[in-house]
Amino acid sequence: MTLSARSSLGAVAASVAGALRTHKIRAVLTGGACAALYSEGAYHSRDLDFIVVGDATRTEMDNAMESIGFVRRRDRYVHPRARFYVEFPRGPLAIGGEYRIRPVTRSTSHGRVLMLSATDSCRDRLAAYYHWGDLQSLTVAAWIAARNRVNLATLQRWSTAEGAREGFDRFVAETSGIRRRKAPRRARR
């Protein structure tokens, strides 16, 4: 697939994931790009953070990224046409104190992407809310939960372990609010 200025985040994610797969590099899409995909456009991100799980040299990564037109500028890969850039933050793949993360393969119209599950993407945003008080992250987490199936029991357990029980209650309230606003009105008799 040739990337252009009109390529969507999903298209770029699938293209990068495909190139990494071809070059036998196992990497998981995390962070804001994941949240943007799960929130179905309610949140926008211009950077794609992939965490490499396993071994890959800088040269192997450069080769994989160059195969789809990305070039490295310091620690960031940029494309001459696509609006999005790609980074590979150092691992391990962890969210707050939880490092036993099971990524999922999501099929999109552009291809397969190995990424955080909706529950983990939610946790990723909630970590920013719990530890930095970032309200935007709370809203995004609620959007993800309202638009996807997430495991609330897991979220609650993890939130308690992060010392954020009250934060979790606020997240649940926020999610319910979004669901109510989203719910179709009943037709009048």
Partner 1 sequence: MMVTQSSSPFGGGTRTRVLLALSLLGESYPRELSRVLDAPLSGVQKALQSLELDGIVAGRSVGRTRVFQLDPRYFARDALKQFLRRLTEPEVGLQKQVAALRRRPRRTGKPL
Contact status, residue 108 vs residue 10, Cβ threshold 8 Å: yes
Q: Is 127 in the site for partner 1 (CB under 8 A)?
A: yes
Smallest distance, partner 1 to C-beta of residue 53, A: 14
Smallest distance, partner 1 to C-beta of residue 60, A: 19
Contact status, residue 105 vs residue 130, Cβ threshold 8 Å: no
Whole-angstrom Cα distance, residue 99 to residue 90?
13
- Judged by CB under 8 A, the residue of 5, 58, 75, 149 near partner 1 is 75
Which lies closer to partner 1 via its Cβ, residue 80 or residue 163?
163
Angle between helix 135-147 and 31-38 (nearest 10): 40
Q: Which stretch binds partner 1 (CB under 8 A): 28-36, 90-98, 106-114, 180-188?
A: 90-98
Contact status, residue 37 vs residue 45, Cβ threshold 8 Å: no
Contact string (CB under 8 A) for partner 1, positions 24-63, x = contact: ----------------------------------------
Residues in the chain: 189
The string of DSSP letters for 128-177 reads HHHHH--HHHHHHHHHHHHHS---HHHHHHHHHHTT-HHHHHHHHHHHHH
Which lies closer to partner 1 via its Cβ, residue 80 or residue 89?
89
Q: Is 6 in the site for partner 1 (CB under 8 A)?
A: no
Contact status, residue 110 vs residue 84, Cβ threshold 8 Å: no
Q: Is 131 in the site for partner 1 (CB under 8 A)?
A: yes
Q: Is 92 in the site for partner 1 (CB under 8 A)?
A: yes
Q: Is 89 in the site for partner 1 (CB under 8 A)?
A: yes
Q: Is 98 in the site for partner 1 (CB under 8 A)?
A: yes
Q: Is 94 in the site for partner 1 (CB under 8 A)?
A: yes
Task: Assign 14 to helix, strand or coil.
Answer: helix
Residues that bind partner 1 (CB under 8 A): 75, 89-90, 92, 94-99, 127-128, 131-132
